[in-house]
Amino acid sequence: MRNKCIGRRTVAFACPPRILAGETVVSKIEGEGPLGKFFDTVLEDDTWGEKTWELAERKMFEHVVRAALEKANLSPGEVDILLGGDLLNQIISANFAARELGIPFIGLYGACSTMAESLLLGAMLMDGGFASCVACAASSHFCTAERQYRMPLEMGTQAIPTAQRTVTGAGCTLLADDTLIAKAQYQAVYVTHGVIGRVVDLGVKDAANMGAAMAPAAADTFVTHLRETSQTAESYDIVVTGDLGRLGGELFQELCKKENVDVAERHVDCGNIIFAPDQNVNCGGSGCACSAVTLNGYLLKRLEAGDFRRMFFMATGALMSTTSGMQGESIPGVAHGLVIERR
Amino acid sequence: MRNKCIGRRTVAFACPPRILAGETVVSKIEGEGPLGKFFDTVLEDDTWGEKTWELAERKMFEHVVRAALEKANLSPGEVDILLGGDLLNQIISANFAARELGIPFIGLYGACSTMAESLLLGAMLMDGGFASCVACAASSHFCTAERQYRMPLEMGTQAIPTAQRTVTGAGCTLLADDTLIAKAQYQAVYVTHGVIGRVVDLGVKDAANMGAAMAPAAADTFVTHLRETSQTAESYDIVVTGDLGRLGGELFQELCKKENVDVAERHVDCGNIIFAPDQNVNCGGSGCACSAVTLNGYLLKRLEAGDFRRMFFMATGALMSTTSGMQGESIPGVAHGLVIERR
C-alpha cells in the first residue's frame, strides 16, 4: 500500500534512517581542490599501486565500504544490503568490489545519479522493514571514464570549454536504524524524504556539455517535490545538485525560475565546489564520485556541525552511451533527490 | 527495522504483491521454439522496422510495459515506479524506454539477473509502503549483445559448444496491491518472498561458458534460502533458474547436491526450455530476456492454471565486462530469488 508517499514522486520515511558514517577517497587533484581537507584519503598515485585504472577504481569502491564500516565499528557481515554502481560498462567496479565484500548486493545503473539512487533505495528498503543497516556507494575515475566514453588519454585530446572533469574517487554512506548500537561518526543526521527521478530529455546532443543535458531532470525533480509537499525553495537551507557544473548549474537555476522557484541563493553544485577555477577543469567536476565524495566528505560534516539544518540533495545522471551517441540520440537525464536533515 | 527478514538474505512480504499481468515480445527463433505459442508478440523481423538493433531492443522494452498496462486497463500515469535494465552499456534500452514512458524510474544493472532483481526490489518497495503498482521489465537482443560483448555479426564467427544464444525479446511484470481495482490477467498469483543475491565467483574465465560462471551463485541463493527458512527442495513444486543453459544447469544441480539438496527432479532452466535441441543454439538460451519472457510468457500462465502452486524463481547474472575479461578477470555471478505462489 502506498501509504508513505506524498504526491506521485515524494516518499516520506516513517522511521527516517540515520546516517551513521560517510567515507571518501579521492585522487591528488581533488585533494588539491577547495574541499581537499575534508576527504578521508587522498591518493598520490591514481593507479593506487594497481596494474590498471579499472583495478584502482574497484579498489576505491571496496575501500570506502570497508573504511566506513570501520568508522562505525561494524563488519561486512553486519551490513544487510550493499547498493551501488559506477560509470563503467556492466558496473564492474561495484560488481567486483561486491564480490570481495560478500554483502548481499543490489547493482544499480543511474550514471552520475548513483549516489542518490543508492541512498533513496537503501532508505526505502530500511524503512520498509528489509534492513537495519545498508551501505550505499558509488565511484568514478577520470582515466577509466575517458577511455571508455571519450578518447584514450594517450591521445592527449583537448577538452572543450563546456566539458567537465570526471572526479576520481569513491564515496560510501552507511545508513542504520536505532536498533543498531554502534560508534557512529554522525549523531544527528537523518534521511527524511526521497524523490524518485524521472527520465527527462530536452534534446541536448553534446556529450561534452552534460551539465546542460542533466539540468532539466534536476529542475523537474526539485520543482515537483516542492509542489507535492507545498514547500518553497526557502524550506531548505541548501539545495545541492550533483555534477551540473558551471553551465548546467546556471541552467538549473533558470529552469527553476521559469517555474517560479528562486533557488539561486541556496543552490550549490558539487561539480562547482570540488575544484578551484585555477585547476583547469573547464566547467567543473562530474562523475558518480563528484556528488559521492562531496556529500560524504563535506556536506554531511557541515550538516552535523549545524552549519545548515535541512538539505535537499540531488545527484544527476546523463543516461547516454557511446552507442546511443553515435546513433545520433540526444542525452536523457535523471535526478533522484533526498531530504537530509539534522535533528 | 529489519522485521520482514528471515535470516540474512530471505525477505518475507507482509502483504504479498499480486502479479497483475505479464507481457512478452520475442523474435522469430524464440517464436519457433517450444514455448512459441505462449508469447504475446512474435516478430518476423528482429529490427522491428527500426534502423538499428539497439532501437529495436528499446522499442521492445517500451512495448512490453505499455502492453502489460493495457492488459490491466491501466495508463503509465497509474504506475508508481518502473524498475528495469538490460545488457547494453549504460542500460540504454531501459533508460530510453523510461524517457518515453515518463514513469518514475529506477535503473538497475544485474546482467541476466535483472528480471528477478527488478521484481525483488519492486515487491520490497510495494510492501514497504512506497508503491501500489510497479512495472518490472528487462530486455536483451541477440544482435546488440553479440556486437557489444563478442564480435560483429558480419564476421560470421562460429559459436563454440559451451556458448548460449542471447534471447531476443523483452518481458514485463506488473505488480499491484489490492487497493488497485483493475482488469487483471492473473487472479491468484503472488510474490511472497524474495532472496537478495550475493556476488559469487569460483574462478570461471571463459566468457563462452557463462552458465558455469553463474551456477555457483544460483546454488548459493537457493541453498541459503532453504536453510534460512528450514525448508527442503520438496517445499517447491518447481525451481527455476534463468539462463544457466545445459552445462550450467547440470552444475547447479551438482552444487546443490554437494550441500545435500536434491533439486534435479524439480529444476527447470529457462535457457533449456526456450529453444529446442534442433534449433542449433548450443547450450541454450541466455540474456535478460531469457528468464523475462519465460516467466511472463509461460511460467506465470502455468501457475495461474494450477499446474504448480509454489515456484522458486531465480534469474542469474554474469557480471563481467569486455574490459574485465581482457584484463584477465574471472566472471562473478549473482542470483536473486523469488517465491511466487498461487493462492
Q: What is the DSSP string of A131-196?
A: -SEEEEEEEE-HHHHHHHHS--GGG-PPPPTT--EEP-EEEEEEEE-TTS----S-SSEEEEEEE-
Residue whose grid cell is 531501459: B94
Report pLDDT for A286: 96
Residues 6+ apart with CB under 8 A from A7: A224, A227, A228, A229
* Pair B64, B35 in one domain: yes
Domain boundary among B125, B154, B176: B176
> Could you tell me the three cell numbers for A102?
560478500
pLDDT in tens, A281-293: 999 999 999 999 9
Is residue B57, in this structure, part of any structural domain at all? Answer: yes
Q: What is the pLDDT of residues B119-137, one digit of tens each?
A: 999 999 999 999 999 999 9
Nearest by CB to B1, from A81, A98, A179: name it: A179
Residue B89 lies in a domain: yes
Residue B149 has pLDDT above 80, yes or no: yes
Same domain, B43 and B70: yes
Question: Could A96 and B332 be called an inter-chain contact, meaning their C-beta atoms sit closer than 8 Å?
Answer: yes
Same domain, A223 and A317: yes
Q: From the CA of A308, how many Å to the nearest CA of chain B?
A: 28
- Which positions in chain B touch A132 (Cβ < 8 Å)? 1-2
Contact B92 A8 (CB under 8 A): no
Which residues of chain B does A329 touch, with a Cβ-Cβ cutoff of 8 Å? 96
For range A245-259, the mean pLDDT: 97
Q: How far is CA B125 from CA A99, A147, B250, in A?
A: 25, 37, 34
For residue A324, what is its C-alpha cell? 546511443
Does A298 lie in the same domain as A269? yes
Flag whether residue B152 sits within 8 Å of chain A, measured between CB atoms.
Answer: no
Question: Chain B within 8 Å of A103 (Cβ-Cβ)?
Answer: yes
Q: How confident is the model at residue A76 (pLDDT cuts 50, 70, 90)?
A: very high
Q: What Cα–Cα distance (Å) separates residue B85 from each residue in B6, B112, B138?
A: 28, 9, 5
B135 and B246 housed in the same domain: no
- Structural domains of chain B, count: 2
Within this chain, do residues B210 and B338 fall inside the same structural domain, yes or no? yes
Provide the shortest C-alpha distance from residue B40 to chain A (in Å): 27
pLDDT tens profile B76-86: 999 999 999 99
Which residues on A lie below 8 Å from B96 (Cβ)? 199, 319, 324, 329, 332
Q: How high is the mean pLDDT of chain A? A: 96
* Residue B252 in domain: yes
Tell whether A327 and A203 lie within a shared domain: yes
| Grid cell in block for residue A259 | 517555474
User: Which range of residues forms the domain containing residue A300?
Assistant: 189-342
As beta bridge partners, residue B333 has B200, B318
Q: Give the pLDDT mean for A206-215.
A: 90
Tell if the CB–CB gap between B105 and A4 is shorter than 8 Å: no
Distances (CA, A) of A295 to A72, A188, A210, A213, B186: 18, 16, 20, 22, 45
Nearby residues of B159 by Cβ (< 8 Å), 6 or more positions away = B165, B208, B282
pLDDT at A180 over 80: no
Position B184 scores a pLDDT of: 85
Instruction: Tell me, yes or no, if B205 comes closer than 8 A to chain A by beta carbon.
Output: no
pLDDT at A182 > cutoff 70? no
For residue B160, the model assigns a pLDDT of 86
- A-B contacts (CB, under 8 Å): 209
Give me the residues paired with residue A174 across strands: A21, A135
B208 pLDDT exceeds 90? no
* Cβ-Cβ contacts under 8 Å, A143 against chain B: none
- Written as one letter, the residue type at B179 is T
Is A173 or A162 the better-scoring residue by pLDDT?
A173
Asked if the Cβ–Cβ distance from A92 to B117 is below 8 Å, we say no
Contacts B1 to A, Cβ<8 Å: 15, 126, 129, 132, 177, 179
Which value, to the nearest 10 degrees, does the dihedral of the CA atoms of residues B199, B205, B206, B210 take? Answer: -10
Residue B145 to residue B323: CA distance in whole angstroms: 15
Chosen domain end from B138, B154, B176: B176
In 3-state terms, what secondary structure has residue B165?
strand
- Distance from C-alpha of A11 to C-alpha of A233, rounded to nearest angstrom: 18
At B252-262, the pLDDT tens digits run: 999 999 999 99
Of B99, B131, B329, the CB nearest to A2: B131
Which is nearest to A192 in space by CA: A340, A5, A303? A340
B233 at interface of A, judged by CB pairs closer than 8 A: no
In a domain, A268, yes or no: yes
Distance from CA of B58 to the nearest CA of A (A): 11
A29 located within any domain:
yes
Contact A90 B88 (CB under 8 A): no
Residue B1 counted as domain residue: no
- Do A61 and A105 lie in one domain? The reply is yes
B182 pLDDT band, cuts 50/70/90, is: low
Asked if residue B322 and residue B278 are part of one domain, the reply reads yes
- Arithmetic mean of pLDDT, A334-342: 98
pLDDT given for residue B334 in this prediction: 98
Nearest Cβ partner for B8 among A92, A104, A125 = A104
Task: Find the mean pLDDT for residues A96-120.
Answer: 98
Residues B273 and B145 in one domain: no
- Domain finish residue from B143, B176, B209: B176
> Which tops the pLDDT comparison, B32 or B159?
B32
Q: What confidence tier does A223 reach under pLDDT thresholds 50, 70, 90?
A: very high
In this prediction, residues A130-148 reach a mean pLDDT of 96
Decide if A85 and B329 are in contact by the 8 Å CB cutoff.
no
Q: What is the CATH number of the domain that holds A196?
A: 3.40.47.40
Q: Does B326 touch chain A (CB under 8 A)?
A: no
- Taking an 8 Å cut-off on Cβ atoms, the answer to whether A130 and B11 are in contact is yes
pLDDT value for B255? 97
Whether the pLDDT of residue B93 is over 90: the answer is yes
In b/e form, how buried is each residue of A10-19, taking b as 16+ CB within 10 angstroms?
bbbbeebbbb
User: What chain A residue is nearest to B94 in terms of C-alpha separation?
Assistant: A319
Helix (H, G, I), strand (E, B) or coil at B160: coil
Looking at residue B42, what is its pLDDT? 98
The pairing of strands B238-241 and B267-269 is parallel
Higher pLDDT, B226 or B158: B226
Nearest residue to B34 (alpha-carbon basis) of B335, B289, B272: B272
| Closest residue in chain A to residue B178, using alpha carbons only | A1
Same domain, B149 and B37: yes
pLDDT 10s digits, B280-306: 899 999 999 999 999 999 999 999 999
Give the model confidence (pLDDT) of B197-207 as tens digits: 999 999 999 88
Q: Reply yes or no on whether the pLDDT at B30 is more than 70.
A: yes
Provide the β-strand partners of residue B138: B85, B171
Residue B26 lies in a domain: yes
Clarify whether residues B217 and B329 are in a common domain: yes
Residues of A with Cβ-Cβ distance to B196 under 8 angstroms: 81, 104-106
CA-to-CA distance for A226 and B43, rounded, in angstroms?
Answer: 44
Q: Residue A23 is placed in which grid cell? A: 567515507
Shortest distance between the Cα of A191 and any Cα of chain B, in A, equals: 15
Domain-located, residue A181: no
